[in-house]
Structure 1
Amino acid sequence: MANRRLTTLGWIFTEKFGLIFLSMITFVVYARLLSPAELGVGTIIIAIVELIGLIYSSVLEDPLVRLERLEDKHISTAFWAAVLVSLVSIVVISGAATLYTSEPMLQWMTAVASVKILFTMMARVYVAQMRRSGDFKTLASRTLLGKVFGGVGGIAVALWGFGAWAVIAQALIMELVSIIVLMRADPRRIAFHIDGPFLRELLRAGTPVAINALSSQTLQRGVNVVLGMAAGANAVGMFNMAMRIIDLPRTAIYNGLLSYALPAFSRRSAEPSRLLGIIDDSTAVSGFLLTPLFLGIALTASDVILLIFGAKWAEAIPLLQVLACAAAIGNTAMYATTALVAVNRSHLTIKAEVVTTLLALALVYGLGSVYGGMAAALALLARMLIITPLQIRGLNAAIGYGWRRFFDCNYRSVIASLVMAATVLYVSPLSGFQGYLHLICNIVVGALSYAVAYSVMHPRWPQEFKSVFTTR
């Protein structure tokens, strides 16, 4: 059992860290070849399409994973309902683009990008089945292959001088390759059949999940759209540069952990003590890894952007620092939504998610014309400061996960990260290094100071963290 769990996690993180590496390559190339405005245009269009696809995906995938028994009629219902909704969405989005803008290029970009919804939705039933069976090897393969082909295609389009089309080409090719790999791995014929009662049940179970996902992902994708309306494509390009640096490690690690966490939490949903135990352990391990990572990004933001991406992106430095701090705060309660889904109590935080999202978007729209991308960064930080306590309150009402557990899981990583930050800020100006040597020196000093501080507070952390993957 322990070996199987480690193998599963190994494939999950092979996929996710592979994505970090591949995404970093394409992102550096885009930063060199595209202007902030071109990157902004592509980002806005893909953000709209992905936001719509995310809503549909959330309604279907997690409820399918939670089902005690997944039958052929369930698969066919979910698959064909997804296909039909996707086709209608493509027509609606293409028509809306024609009405919104008179520029043919933007109309064509939006219409082509909307096809991504179809590929994304076709994949949901396959992904749900493989998550249920623990076939993370296939899931990792399809994502990595999609990223490779998408990255090559996007870079080729950028080299040919097509600007924002590069972002759209990459996203579309990734999803196409992904669904091809999934269908080859599971070459079943899905009969055309839609079971009305099951579809209604699926919608009832998935709607709260979709609303939660929509509210959080609106900030990741929708904020680009609102910022573009308020401050223009250049501001979106700067904000997206900073956001992508945060999202590369966050999305890879979060998605890997949460893909494993939902089925693991669901299996323990009937045993509150075991569920609380695995949430405690998972939060402690995640905090140990991610809190210093995000604070470290804030500390090295200037070197990272200027050395890797170039001086034309200098405006993104303070944005990156603010977003990194927001990510560090969010990490403390990263399993809240997943735990609520596992016990079917996700409705407890819906109002909080929606209200804080609308508040953040209002801040972006109201302040974007004055502060540009910084308005979006500060809005996300404010939202994180508000939503985290509300998520803990929801967990406490659902499963008894209160503030004492929250602090016990996070205090060591937070204190050790603050020690790390103070040490780096003190040593950095005294080191005398420049360029990449300065960046490397800060990383080494930060890692060593964090390791020492954490080990002083918790000398047995290696043995305890190992047990997380072999017990409970």
Structure 2
Amino acid sequence: MNERGTKSQIINGLFWKVMENGGSQGIQFIISILLARLLSAEEYGVINLVLIFVTIANVIVQNGFGTALIQKREADERDYSSVFYVNLATAWGIYLLLVLGAPLIADFYDNPQMTAIVRVLSLVLFPGAVISVQSAYVSRKMEFRGLCISTMAAALASGVVGVAMASLGFGVWALVGQQILYYLVLMAVLFLTVPWRPRVVFALERVESMFRFGWKLLCASLVDTLFTNLYGLVVGKIYDETTMGIYSRGEQFPKLIVTNLGTAIQAVMLPALSARQTHPDQVVSLLRRAIKTSVFLVLPMMAGLAAAADNLVLVLLGEKWMACVPFLQISCLAYAVYPMDIANLQALNAMGRSDVFLKLEIAKKVVGVVILLLSMRCGAVAFIAWKAAGDFLCTFINAWPNQRLLGYHISQMWRDILPSLAVSLLMGMIVYAGRFVLPAGIVGLAGQVALGVGVYLFLSWIFKLESFRYLWGIVWEKLSGNMYSQ
């Protein structure tokens, strides 16, 4: 394929990938708000605890071979079908372990209801095994349109059924039904939109070849998933299911905003930095631009979200969820540093220093475990606050290698961040003060949002923030180009 065709394919694929992420997550966000009004925090806590075990199981079933299929220079029908059967066999094995281990999980959390929930919800492993191969096929062919349609259809159909079941009084089983239907609809629509079909063919040598590559990725994904969900497991055990539900609901809002931006940074930065890896000065320039631009966008959103948390929870979730406000505010602090972490780590990957990347991951996991052990006897809010402090500390760990490799010092990074941080904090204080003047509820929330946006843009203009001028220049250029093209 020529360069123009390749570029067109990449742009088209990126468009559908953005549509998939934005569309499906937007639908799921709306559905989650409706479900939160119908279900209790305890019911959400139970399903979130069970989902941790199912998520870990799904990593074993889907990761490794799926990534190996995408990475393989040439993949044919024997590769796809062989991985399909291996995935199904793995799903059966893991499912049997979960069925047998379900009573132990229920005993661990002192909740007999979990036995049935684990056994039923684990059924998602089977469609997940198929979806892994279908997604690999889509990624190799860059036919993301079918994946976008499938994901949005699955989110909508499962969400409608989940809300209907919750309205009819099914309780936690409404969330179980939503999860299972999501996987089934996703698999079914992918079968309609993706031309690949499994065949009766199996090549052991192909499986062994992909396993040699995929097992390392599987181990890395498994360790990362275990540590990501470690705090959830501990919250559910030390406290209770209600606290777990409140914590997960409070974390939802900042996580949704920041991880989407982080995914975009990751997708754009790695190829751009990799192309300049032999020119450290250019890498530093791009890294600084990514950090300054991302914090200019993320910090005010986190500050505003924390400041308006009371009205936000009251309007979207209802008064019964007000206990999640402190968890939401603490999560805003934790996720505020996420874009800096992503940018620094992508610079390492672009320089080909996966060895340093691995050492950083080990160091951060050690820090996380130490903080976890030190804070386990604290109250729930203090426990999560310690976690946020650990995330903040890990920002310095992620930035440290780039001092030596690129000459981008941590002090310089914080000088790049400081203007946006100062303006965001000032805006956050003004928005928070607004809650004492504005009425509670939707009017107050709308007023706080308008106040926050207006104050942040005004202060950015007054203090001539470099990132503000940079982004405004891009917007003006686009608008001018459109006017002249008409």
- The one of 342, 358, 365 equivalent to 1:354 is 365
Contact 2:307/2:429 (<8 A) preserved: no
Residues 1:246 and 2:254 are matched in the alignment: yes
Amino acid at match of 1:95: L
The alpha-carbon deviation at position 315 of structure 1 amounts to 1.4
Contact 2:65/2:211 (<8 A) preserved: no
Higher mean displacement: 290-299 or 87-96 = 290-299
CA change 1:166–1:281 in 2 (3 A) is: farther
The alpha-carbon deviation at position 310 of structure 1 amounts to 1.9
The alpha-carbon deviation at position 400 of structure 1 amounts to 6.4
- The one of 176, 181, 184 equivalent to 2:184 is 176
Residues 1:453 and 2:456 are matched in the alignment: no
Match in the other structure for 1:392? 399
Amino acid at match of 2:87: A
Q: Deviations over 1:141-177 (max 9, x none)?
A: 2221121112112112212212111222222222222
CA change 1:45–1:440 in 2 (3 A) is: same
CA change 1:407–1:438 in 2 (3 A) is: same
Aligned length: 459
Amino acid at match of 2:144: F
User: Whose Rg is larger?
Assistant: 2
SS in structure 1 of the partner of residue 377 of structure 2: helix
The alpha-carbon deviation at position 243 of structure 1 amounts to 1.5
Runs of 5+ unmatched residues, structure 1: none
Q: How does 1:388-467 map to 2 (within 5 A)?
A: 388-394=395-401, 402-403=409-410, 406-407=413-414, 410-429=417-436, 431-455=437-461, 456-458=464-466, 459-463=469-473
Higher mean displacement: 392-401 or 438-447 = 392-401
Residues 1:51 and 2:56 are matched in the alignment: yes
Match in the other structure for 2:385? 378
Contact 1:20/1:249 (<8 A) preserved: no
Residues 1:159 and 2:163 are matched in the alignment: no
- The one of 93, 103, 106 equivalent to 1:101 is 106
Residues 1:290 and 2:295 are matched in the alignment: no
The higher relative CO (CA closer than 8 Å, separation ≥ 6) is in: 1
The alpha-carbon deviation at position 69 of structure 1 amounts to 1.6
The alpha-carbon deviation at position 298 of structure 1 amounts to 0.5
Residues 1:237 and 2:241 are matched in the alignment: no
Match in the other structure for 1:135? 143
Contact 2:258/2:339 (<8 A) preserved: no
Q: Quick one: distance in 2 between partners of 1:174 and 1:117?
A: 12
RMSD: 3.3
Amino acid at match of 2:214: L
Contact 1:36/1:234 (<8 A) preserved: yes
CA change 1:432–1:28 in 2 (3 A) is: closer
Match in the other structure for 2:484? none
Residues 1:71 and 2:75 are matched in the alignment: yes
The alpha-carbon deviation at position 97 of structure 1 amounts to 0.5
The alpha-carbon deviation at position 89 of structure 1 amounts to 0.8
Match in the other structure for 1:322? 330
Query: TM-score, normalising length from structure 1?
Result: 0.84
The alpha-carbon deviation at position 14 of structure 1 amounts to 2.5
SS in structure 1 of the partner of residue 195 of structure 2: coil
Q: Quick one: distance in 2 between partners of 1:56 and 1:271?
A: 40
SS in structure 1 of the partner of residue 337 of structure 2: helix
Amino acid at match of 2:100: G
Residues 1:36 and 2:46 are matched in the alignment: no
Contact 2:56/2:222 (<8 A) preserved: no
Q: Percent identity?
A: 21
SS in structure 1 of the partner of residue 73 of structure 2: coil
Q: Deviations over 1:87-113 (max 9, x none)?
A: 211110111013443776422210121
Match in the other structure for 1:92? 97
Q: Quick one: distance in 2 between partners of 1:451 and 1:146?
A: 38
Residues 1:122 and 2:126 are matched in the alignment: no
Higher mean displacement: 440-449 or 281-290 = 281-290
Contact 2:251/2:331 (<8 A) preserved: yes
The alpha-carbon deviation at position 230 of structure 1 amounts to 0.6
Query: TM-score, normalising length from structure 2?
Result: 0.82
SS in structure 2 of the partner of residue 366 of structure 1: coil
Contact 2:69/2:75 (<8 A) preserved: no
Residues 1:193 and 2:203 are matched in the alignment: yes
